[in-house]
């Protein structure tokens, strides 16, 4: 192996090693609770991302969103998705509407933060999202 080939190999190995170190830091965090910084009220965050924040405009019971209200998500200070509907125990439960940042909406019934049913005309949108 020539000196030049050896140097290229070492450089490639170092770059690969650096990627292995950085990649886990960019991995998505596990689901968990996120708090409204103004009220301290918490909601379930099924897919945490860096720079994410929430504002909850409804009632809070035992530190968790509980009742009818609006949850506004933001990403790095910019408004993102919005949920208007029912929360119980900090999770979406009951009827609610999600409006995505692109303007699309999804209405449905939620249980334990999982969407249970969609009207037929909205199933195609979710599958293409």
Contact 88, 94 (CB under 8 A): yes
What are all long-range contacts of 57-61, with beta carbons under 8 Å and residues at least 24 apart?
A: 58/87
Percent of the chain with pLDDT over 70: 69
pLDDT score of 29:
81
pLDDT score of 21:
43
pLDDT score of 15:
45
Q: Using the predicted structure, report yes or no on whether residue 8 has a pLDDT greater than 90.
A: no
Interval 39-76: pLDDT, tens: 999 999 999 999 999 999 999 999 999 999 999 999 99
Q: Using the predicted structure, report yes or no on whether residue 22 has a pLDDT greater than 60.
A: no
- pTM greater than the 0.85 cutoff: no
Q: Tokens representing 81?
A: 């998705």
Tell me the residue ranges of DSSP E strands in 1-129.
32-35, 42-45, 52-56, 60-61, 64-65, 67-75, 78-88, 91-99, 105-111, 114-117
Q: What residue ranges do the domains of the chain occupy?
A: 32-128
Q: Is 25 exposed, middle or buried (0-12, 13-18, 19+ CB in 10 A)?
A: exposed
Q: Using the predicted structure, report yes or no on whether residue 4 has a pLDDT greater than 70.
A: no
pLDDT score of 55:
98
């Amino acid at each position: 192996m020539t000196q030049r080939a050896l140097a290229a190999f070492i450089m490639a190995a170092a770059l690969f090693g650096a990627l292995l170190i950085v990649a886990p830091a960019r991995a998505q965090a596990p689901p968990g609770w996120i708090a409204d910084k103004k009220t301290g009220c918490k909601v379930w965050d099924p897919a945490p991302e860096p720079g994410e924040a929430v504002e909850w405009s409804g009632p809070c019971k035992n530190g968790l969103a509980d009742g009818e209200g609006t949850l506004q998500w933001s990403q790095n200070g910019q408004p993102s998705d919005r949920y208007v509907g029912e929360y119980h125990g900090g999770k979406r439960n009951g009827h609610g509407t999600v409006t995505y940042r692109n303007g699309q909406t999804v209405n449905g019934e939620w249980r334990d933060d999982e969407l249970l049913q969609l009207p037929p005309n909205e199933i195609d949108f979710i599958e293409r999202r």
